[in-house]
């Protein structure tokens, strides 16, 4: 991958994290281009990461072999339609991390023959612990699939889904998922303070507990259910807490929330594709 020239249209937080991850994994900074409308953003990226920067999307597309679309979904159509002729002529791989823009819309704007990989990263990618799902259209070669996967793996794990519609479920699970954990952490922290702990102590205990639970889950071959059962002693405090969760319909509430997020993802995708 180090020989590939990669261009990022949009130099925001996600693009910056991807670039930092690529460089940390061995990709040469001089093989990376970034375009953005904000001169301060470009200056900061050039100073910090030593990459090529430009205010011209056209110049970027002419210089690279892979284009990563990292602009806001609302502006994506205008951006890509102005570049479609050059992208088709050069047969570039296009990797989109724009939420809610499906491949049908991208193909309509870029050309049906364009190789497109649509990605759904999440915000932990900003601290290099992201989870990204990818889907490729029929024009993407195996080499291009590997390239797209390696780009996204620079900020965490990367997984392929068979059907693009699965990305709506991914959005509901990992895309929106960090907020679900923050909500639980918020509630635990608040209750801990109500029970007498000071704010700093409550917050650190909740944060470290969340980190530890995630680390155990990642490093274990057991399912979350098995892990929960392992740490739930009969008649103990944890059993009482789990019983309270279950009596409150915790599992049903989580299912309702995830389904609601998925439904909204589908609605947004349909709406943005028409705009």
pLDDT in tens, 89-113: 999 999 999 988 999 999 999 999 9
Q: What angle do CA 9, 35, 124 make, to 5 degrees?
A: 55
Please classify residue 6 by burial: count the beta carbons closer than 10 Å to its beta carbon, then call 0-12 exposed, 13-18 middle and 19+ buried: buried
Confidence of residue 3 (pLDDT cuts 50, 70, 90): low
For residue 238, what pLDDT is reported? 97
For residue 17, what pLDDT is reported? 95
Does position 273 have pLDDT exceeding 80, yes or no? no
Does position 274 have pLDDT exceeding 70, yes or no? no
CATH (residue range 6-168) = 3.40.50.720
Does position 86 have pLDDT exceeding 60, yes or no? yes
pLDDT digits (tens, 9 = 90+) for 73-82: 989 999 999 9
The token pair at 90 is: 């050069």
Instruction: Please list the residue range(s) of the chain that carry CATH number 1.10.3730.10.
Output: 175-267
Does position 2 have pLDDT exceeding 60, yes or no? no
Residue 96, SS3 per DSSP: strand
- The sign one gets for the Cα dihedral 262, 267, 273, 275 is negative
For the CA atoms of 98, 274, 160, 7, the dihedral, rounded to the nearest 10 degrees, stands at -40
The residue length of the chain stands at 275
* Contacts for 20 with CB less than 8 Å, ≥ 6 apart: 49, 128
Q: What angle do CA 15, 18, 40 make, to 5 degrees?
A: 35
> Nearest CA to 175 among 224, 207, 131?
131
> d(Cα 79, Cα 36) in Å, to the nearest integer?
11
How many CB atoms within 10 Å of residue 150?
A: 16
For residue 271, what pLDDT is reported? 80
Classified by CATH at the fold level, domain 175-267 comes out as ProC C-terminal domain-like fold (1.10.3730)
Residue 182 or 275, more confident: 182
> Nearest CA to 158 among 116, 178, 130, 136?
130
Please classify residue 174 by burial: count the beta carbons closer than 10 Å to its beta carbon, then call 0-12 exposed, 13-18 middle and 19+ buried: buried
* Contacts for 72 with CB less than 8 Å, ≥ 6 apart: 10, 98
Instruction: Please list the residue range(s) of the chain that carry CATH number 3.40.50.720.
Output: 6-168
> d(Cα 176, Cα 181) in Å, to the nearest integer?
10
Q: For the chain, what is the mean pLDDT? A: 95
> Nearest CA to 82 among 104, 60, 102, 98?
60
């Amino acid at each position: 991958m180090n020989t590939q020239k990669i261009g990022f249209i949009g130099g925001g937080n996600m693009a910056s994290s991807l670039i930092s991850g690529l460089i940390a994994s061995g990709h040469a900074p001089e093989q990376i281009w970034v375009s953005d409308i904000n001169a301060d953003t470009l200056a900061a990226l050039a100073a910090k990461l030593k990459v090529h920067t430009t205010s011209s999307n056209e110049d970027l597309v002419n210089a690279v072999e892979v284009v990563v679309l990292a602009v806001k979904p609302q502006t994506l159509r205008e951006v890509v339609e102005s570049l479609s002729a050059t992208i088709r002529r050069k047969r570039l791989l296009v990797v989109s991390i724009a939420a809610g823009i499906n491949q049908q819309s991208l193909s309509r704007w870029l050309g049906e023959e364009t190789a497109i990989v649509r990605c759904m990263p999440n915000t932990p990618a900003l601290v290099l612990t992201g989870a990204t799902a990818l889907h490729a259209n029929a024009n993407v070669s195996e080499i291009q699939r590997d390239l797209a996967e390696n780009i996204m793996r620079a900020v965490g794990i990367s997984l392929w889904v068979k059907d693009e519609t699965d990305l709506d479920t991914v959005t509901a699970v990992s895309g929106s998922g960090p907020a679900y954990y923050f909500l639980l952490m918020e509630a635990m922290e608040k209750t801990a303070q109500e029970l007498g702990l000071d704010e700093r102590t409550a917050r650190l205990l909740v944060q470290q507990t969340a980190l530890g639970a995630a680390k155990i889950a990642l490093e274990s071959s057991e399912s979350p259910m098995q892990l929960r059962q392992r740490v739930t002693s009969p008649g103990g405090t944890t059993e009482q807490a789990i019983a309270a969760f279950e009596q409150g319909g915790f599992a049903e509430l989580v299912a309702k929330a995830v389904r609601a997020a998925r439904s909204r993802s589908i609605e947004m995708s349909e709406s943005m594709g028409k705009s």
